[in-house]
Amino acid sequence: MTGGPAAGLVIAALALGWVAVRGSRSHFVCPKCGAAFKAGIATFMLTPHMMGKRLVRCPNCNNTEYMAPVSDSE
Ligand SMILES: [Zn+2]
């Protein structure tokens, strides 16, 4: 009773949880106006991403582009 579909589900759940935690502990800095803002966890998981960057929209100036998430502890 090891492996199989159940193991795949557990791995998928862990991956989703990791992304959610990572998203909740990071923010973005708009390269256009310098505003720092948080993206929602759903946004973090659902937005297109490329080379570690996420397509997000700045709530301050509405600039939309790929931005790298910055850890809140930095
Ligand atoms: Zn901005």
Instruction: Give the predicted TM-score (pTM) of the model.
Output: 0.70
**What is the CA(17)–ligand 1 centre distance, in A?**
28
**What is the CA(49)–ligand 1 centre distance, in A?**
18
pLDDT score, position 25: 86
Smallest CA-to-CA distance from 29 within 5, 2, 3, 65 is with 65
pLDDT score, position 41: 79
**What is the CA(74)–ligand 1 centre distance, in A?**
20
pLDDT score, position 2: 66
Q: Angle 18-44-39 (CA atoms, 0-180°, nearest 5)?
A: 120
Mean pLDDT of each 10-residue bin along the chain, 74 residues long: 83 88 86 93 81 92 94 81
